[in-house]
Structure 1
Amino acid sequence: MAVLTAGKVLRFDEVRGYGFIAPEVGDEDVFMHANDLVDEKYLYQEGSQVEFFLEMGEKGPKASNIRLVHQSSSHQVPRGGLAARPAVAAAAVDGERSVSPADDFSQELTEALLDSVGSLTGDQIKQVRACVVDIAEARGWVAP
């Protein structure tokens, strides 16, 4: 008999398609597999809150019908869109810039697109991102 349970993703390897969940109740980690995910697998990050049906598998506790309950706020677009977020200065390593403002903006834009429009393909995200970064650089919103 499967029991509806809540927990937090400890780790999930998108490439291998499996990981583990720390259930809110109990002390044994629960195995999770990509075939049992309700949402897109890239959304299941360390710390993601999930609900799942707890079952006993051949090798121990196993999760099925795993769905996200809460996504990390670090990947959500702020109210008012990206323009509402202050510009982030480039990181410095030994006095040198390691990430340009355009690269930082591109990363934030990619995360926003992934979180906002889950049906976009990787190629579509690249095309939209390149267009928006070009516009932002041309208007001086980010430095190249």
Structure 2
Amino acid sequence: MRTGRIVQFDEARGFGFITPDQGGEDVFVHVNLLGNDRWLLAPGVAVEFESTEGERGPKALAVRVLRSDTNQVNGGVVPSVAPAVSRPATSGNADDSDELCDVLQEQAFLGEITEVLLTSTPDLSAGQVVKLRREILNLARRHGWVEDD
């Protein structure tokens, strides 16, 4: 079994994509594979899965939500994340040295970025979402907006 995280899931259409932890191409997942876990899927949720090569690329054969990485909230789940920490902003301007900004753990930051990308531009491909997240995370690291997990 491999592990990964849901990067996109469209409840209306009944499918989504898993980004493997080991790297490689995103894996297509259909709602019929999930049984009762289908309502637990959201971007950032950790899963365990088996996959095969389909006509259009990798597709999941079996998927299981890793509940140890999630918290129950209002009947659904959200990924476990560390709380934000406030510290002085580091924009380089002397005038704003008293301002504070939220510094998130990298996984929490990626979860929020994924949600923004998917809700603001739902027609992005999973590959585009992954590339954008990577570039935005690099920007956040350079500015000190995130901390290592």
TM value normalised by structure 2: 0.46
User: Which is strand-richer, 1 or 2?
Assistant: 2
Q: Greater Rg, structure 1 or structure 2?
A: 1
